[in-house]
Amino acid sequence: MPQEKSQQTTWRLVSPADNPLIRAVGRVPAGVHAKLLVAFVGTALLVVGVGLLGLRLLGQSNERVETLGTLQERAVEYGKLRSDARRVREMLSANVSDQFYIVNPKGRQPDRGPEARLAVDQMVASAVADIPPFTFPDQLGFVPPPEDARSLRKIRDTARDLSKVMQQIIHRSPRRVPALRLRSEALAVDLKKYAADLDDTTSARSNELIAQNAQAYTRSRNQFIGVAAGAIVLALLLGFVLSWSVIGPIQSIDHRLAAIASGDFSGHVDVTNRDELGALAANVNRMNDELDRLYKALETASQHKSDFLANMSHELRTPLNAIIGFSQVLREGMVGDVNAKQREYLDDILSSGNHLLALINDVLDLSKVEAGQVELQVAPFSLQDALERGVSMVREQATSEGVRVTLHENGGVDVVSGDERRIRQVIFNLLSNAVKFTPEGGQVDVSAARVNGEMRVSVADSGPGIAPEDRDRIFEEFQQTEAGARQREGTGLGLALSRRFVEMHGGRIWCESEVGQGSTFEFTLPVEPVER
């Protein structure tokens, strides 16, 4: 049980519909526009924050690079001073130990004569004289820091002292030179030491700064990545929460509207938002309740209408049958001779009575279908016989109007299962319409075939055709095309009843037509028996 509760809690946090954070944001009393603006501004601030952090870290890195460049520049110049001091030290050491070599025409050979020593002393004096100027900022190319300035001052003073000693060695008598050489040797050692210390210290600072830069780079990189990742997570979380606080209610409202469209008024939209979506959900719930009330009222009214039509149709057929029957008796002269004028009036009475009876029968059938009172009497019957009977029923009317009706031979048309009376009624409706709308000299073709496991019946005429916008409308109750309305015949119920009867058998009915090219009405019946 604790594990199940934990899983439920986790699902609530992950599921957008049940996430408490999303619901809390939805309950914030602010409009959708304000919430989206907050999301946009928040995301923009996160981006700006990441950008400012990046600029700050880049500035710090740039400062470290500049500092490192300055140290490396110092190290180069201090290295030159060290090299000059080492060269002076080496020349003095060679001169003191008599190991100085000169180049003469006979090759590189040792020369320990006074002239050679003097030449070396002059070279040392010249080299030492060049050192002090390079310890000043104008020659170094930069202003040294205080600690370097002290070391440079030592190097400069030592070089000057050594330069004085070298001048004394060059211009004094040989008897006093040994003591001066010892003095110059000590000064050269100090000069080399000061230059080496300065160079080593600067190089150590450079190496230390390089290491610090590497650590700072790693630290800055990790910091930037962490902040950027955090900003992305926050932006995604903000977008997720705000988007689902809008999308969730819209989906709930959409599902509720789809249910309402399908006739389900039993539910309500559960939206806790205190914004436009919450108001919309409340309106949808009110609309749902109102539609439920109106739908129930319409169902009651429709039932009353069907009951009324059924009762009235039944009541009207009794006197109408009497009118038709007695009119036929009078027309046949069973109670006495009638003249031509009387016969004409009796024909009008019979024609109008039959038309009214057909109208009443259609209304009665339609009302029974709507009330669910029609039950199919399913049994095997010959579809070919039904087609032949339908053709024979309209042949007289077709002949009188100059229309040729042809029933084509159809291989594979055999016994099907269904309510024969209803199917014959469908066939008669289609044939009578085809004959009625086909002009004199036209053609009506009737055929049937097995297609994709179904029996398909087709009635094609060469009439005026049907406009595309009317092809679906004519299958609705009391709907006719302009041509049908002009003829002022029919009730507009024949095709509606035909569609109901075909669909009750599990089939479908449709029309294919082009204006001026005639029309083809087709319906299908399943081969397997229909279960009712």
33-86 pLDDT per residue, tens? 677 777 777 778 878 887 888 788 778 777 777 777 887 888 888 888 888 888
**pLDDT value, residue 110:** 52
Place of tokens 């709507």: 370
Mean pLDDT score, 475-498 = 66
* Reported confidence tier of residue 309, pLDDT bands at 50, 70, 90: low
Euclidean distance between CA atoms 300 and 303, whole angstroms:
5
Other beta carbons less than 10 A from residue 260's beta carbon: 17
Counting residues of the chain whose pLDDT is more than 70, the rounded percentage is 81
CA distances from 259 to 228, 284, 355, 374, 516 (A): 45, 12, 43, 29, 42
Segment 313-334 mean pLDDT: 78
pLDDT for position 483: 53
**pLDDT of res. 170:** 81
CA distance 474 to 481: 7
Report the distance separating Cα 415 and Cα 489, nearest Å.
Answer: 34
CA gyration radius for the chain? 57
Tell whether the model's pLDDT for residue 7 goes beyond 70: no
- Indicate the pLDDT class of residue 373, thresholds 50, 70 and 90: low
Please state, in angstroms and rounded to a whole number, the distance separating the CA atoms of residues 327 and 316.
Answer: 17
**What is the percent of the chain with per-residue pLDDT over 90, rounded to a whole number?**
5
Residue 13 CA neighbour count, 13 Å, CB half:
7
Average pLDDT of the residues in 369-374 = 67
Outline which parts of the chain fall under CATH 3.30.565.10. Answer: 376-526
For residue 22, CA distances in Å to 2, 26, 239, 249, 283 come to 25, 6, 11, 11, 22
Q: What is the pLDDT of residue 11?
A: 42
**Which of 390, 376, 393 is closest to 525 using CA atoms?**
376
Domain 376-526: top CATH class:
alpha beta
* pLDDT recorded at residue 521: 93
Query: Which of 235-244, 377-386, 453-462 comes out lowest in average pLDDT?
Result: 235-244
Question: What tokens appear for 248 in the block?
Answer: 């969730």
Count of other CB atoms within 10 angstroms of residue 421: 12
Over residues 206-233, the mean pLDDT reads: 81
Comparing C-alpha atoms, which of 376, 377, 403 is closest to residue 391?
403
Q: Which residues contact 90 (CB under 8 A, 6 or more apart)?
A: none
Which span out of 19-23, 188-192, 366-370 was modeled with the highest average pLDDT? 188-192
Structure tokens at 293: 């009330």
- Kindly state the average pLDDT of the residues 464-476: 83
- Give the pLDDT band of residue 310 (cuts 50, 70, 90): low
Q: What's the distance, Cα to Cα, between the start and end of the chain in Å?
A: 49
Q: What is the dihedral of CA 192, 194, 197, 201, to 10 degrees?
A: -130
* pLDDT value, residue 288: 86
Continuous segment of H or E residues that includes residue 407: strand 404-407
CATH class of 276-368: mainly alpha
pLDDT of residue 106: 45
The model's confidence at residue 480, banded by pLDDT at 50, 70 and 90, is low
Measuring CA to CA, which residue among 429, 358, 444 is closest to residue 399? Answer: 444
DSSP single-letter state for residue 469: G
Q: Which of 128-142, 353-367, 474-488 has the highest mean pLDDT?
A: 128-142
| Token output for 336 | 């006495």
> How far is residue 262 from each of residues 248, 258, 282, measured CA to CA in Å?
21, 6, 20
Fold of 74-216: de novo design (two linked rop proteins) (1.20.1440)
Most confidently predicted of 371-385, 412-426, 438-452:
438-452
Closest CA to 281 of 246, 315, 250, 240: 250
What mean pLDDT is predicted for residues 256-262? 84
Q: Which residue shows structure tokens 């995301």?
A: 43
**Whether 234 contacts 46, CB under 8 Å:** yes
pLDDT at 17: 57
pLDDT, residue 103, reads: 41
* Token pair of 411 as six digits: 């291989």
- Mean pLDDT, residues 329-345 taken together: 80
Per-residue pLDDT, 100: 43
Comparing 6-15, 75-84, 93-102, 518-527, the range with the smallest average pLDDT is 6-15
User: Which backbone phi and psi does 102 adopt, to 5 degrees?
Assistant: -125, 160
Pairing of strands 404-407, 443-451: parallel
CB–CB of 494/362 below 8 Å?
A: yes
- 54 Cα distance to chain centroid: 32
For the cut 80, the answer to whether the pLDDT of residue 9 exceeds it is: no
Average pLDDT for the chain: 78
Nearest 5°: CA angle at 174, between 169 and 180? Answer: 40
**In the structure encoding, which two tokens stand for residue 41, read together?**
């501004």
Integer Cα distance of 349 and 150 in angstroms:
139
> Quick one: tokens of 451?
């297609």
Per-residue pLDDT, averaged over 180-192, amounts to 84
Does residue 519 surpass a pLDDT of 70? Answer: yes
What confidence tens digit (pLDDT) does each residue in 78-134 have?
888 888 888 888 887 776 654 444 444 444 445 456 777 778 778 888 888 888 888
| Residue 102 confidence (pLDDT) | 42
pLDDT of 333 over the 90 cut: no
The answer, yes or no, to whether residue 301 has pLDDT greater than 90, is no
Task: Tell me where in the chain the CATH 1.20.1440.210 domain(s) lie.
Answer: 74-216
Residues of the chain with CATH 1.10.287: 276-368
pLDDT tens figures, 387-438: 888 898 888 888 888 999 999 877 666 788 888 888 988 998 899 889 988 9
Confidence of residue 260 (pLDDT cuts 50, 70, 90): confident
- Largest interatomic CA distance in the chain: 188
Question: In sequence order, which residues have a C-beta less than 8 Å from that of residue 153 and are 6 or more positions away?
Answer: 135
Closest listed residue to residue 418, CA positions, set 378, 457, 374:
378
Q: Which pLDDT value is given to residue 107?
A: 46
pLDDT of residue 265: 81
- Give 201 or 97, the one with higher predicted confidence: 201
Residues 9/234, Cβ–Cβ less than 8 Å: no
Task: Read off the pLDDT of each residue in 217-243 and give the average, rounded to a whole number.
Answer: 79
508-530 average pLDDT score: 84
In this prediction, residue 378 has a pLDDT band, given cuts at 50, 70 and 90, of confident
Asked if 277 and 246 count as a contact pair (C-beta separation under 8 A), the reply is yes
Query: For residue 445, is pLDDT > 90?
Result: yes
| Low-confidence winner among 10-14, 335-339, 470-474, 496-500 (lowest mean pLDDT) | 10-14
